[in-house]
Amino acid sequence: MRIIFMGTPRFAVPTLDALVEAGHEIVLVVTQPDRKVGRGQKLKAPPVAARAAELSLPLAQPRALRSGPFPERYVDLQADVGVVIAYGRILPERLLDAPRHGCVNVHASLLPRWRGAAPIQHAILAGDAITGVCTQRMEPTLDTGPVYVREEIPIGAEETAGELHDRLSERSASVAVRTLELLGRIEPTPQPEVGITWAPKIDRADGQVDWAEPAAVLHRRVRAMTPWPGGWIPWGGGPLKLRSVRLAEGSGPPGTLLSLDPLIVACGEGALQLVEVQAPGRRAVPGGAFANGLHLEPGASLLPRGHTDGA
């Protein structure tokens, strides 16, 4: 098939590779423009753009999707299908309809659960035991299209968003290839009107830990926010990052240290072991080493200064 591939981050790279390996003709790869990164603010190509260059595939990084030369170039390619995975922009209807079979989106959830930008994080936050990958025929409205293929994947009890991201990225590749094999031979199934949930974009504030919440909730939050923005609590001149946590036994006023090694903190219900933490400007260390380095004692509080329980 003649494919226009649209994707931007690392998550989409295995799918691009799989389509090439399956013998499809990639007539154009579309990614978001290069962005300035780091202290030097140097331009860096998105992972999909870098991979397209390695594969010598034609590349476009349009800033405008409705005007300028890009829409005409896109339509003139007369592609069989557009494959869209984590592109990061809403496509105008003209682009959705231009390929012979329209556009197929590969989405990292079991639609209609977790429509939106951050399905992986929200699945873990909600305590879902199962998530998955599905492909949908794209419509102008976000993640509402009928579904071609869906595959379930269990979420590990200690799995982080980063780990689940990598598994879903690999599974997305095989699901995309299978969907194209079925294209034109099956009709996609409309999404049900019940069970719709939304997964809005994650920001830094979503990683903040409130010890008044149950330990099970905080355990999910830290896992869901790892690697970015990470679970964190206010600490001195910046956030204390909770790199790894585990459910633990114990109870007490929220934020109180119950033991030092292992470092266990009381929550609103239950307790959480801080397996690895990172103070501002420091390297990550085991929780026990962190507590010992600050000469903390059982009964001390990890609440921000000036905060009292229930305030």
- The model's pTM is 0.94
Q: Residues spanned by CATH 3.40.50.170 within the chain?
A: 2-182
pLDDT confidence bin for 307, thresholds 50/70/90: very low
Q: Which of 228, 243, 230, 240 is nearest to 273 (CA)?
A: 243
At 35-86, the pLDDT tens digits run 988 888 899 999 999 999 999 999 999 999 999 999 999 999 999 999 999 9
Q: Residue range 244-261: average pLDDT? A: 97
Q: What angle do the packed helices 13-21 and 47-54 form, to 10 degrees?
A: 30
CATH 3.10.25.10 fits 204-293, yes or no: yes
The CATH homologous superfamily to which domain 2-182 belongs is: Formyl transferase, N-terminal domain (3.40.50.170)
pLDDT score at 188: 98
Q: Residues with Cβ < 8 Å from 214, sequence gap 6 or more?
A: 267, 268, 269, 270
Are 109 and 118 in contact by the 8 Å Cβ rule? The answer is: no
pLDDT confidence bin for 311, thresholds 50/70/90: very low
pLDDT score at 310: 41
Are 275 and 287 in contact by the 8 Å Cβ rule? The answer is: yes
Sole residue written with tokens 């590749």: 173
Q: Residues spanned by CATH 3.10.25.10 within the chain?
A: 204-293
Are 3 and 83 in contact by the 8 Å Cβ rule? The answer is: yes
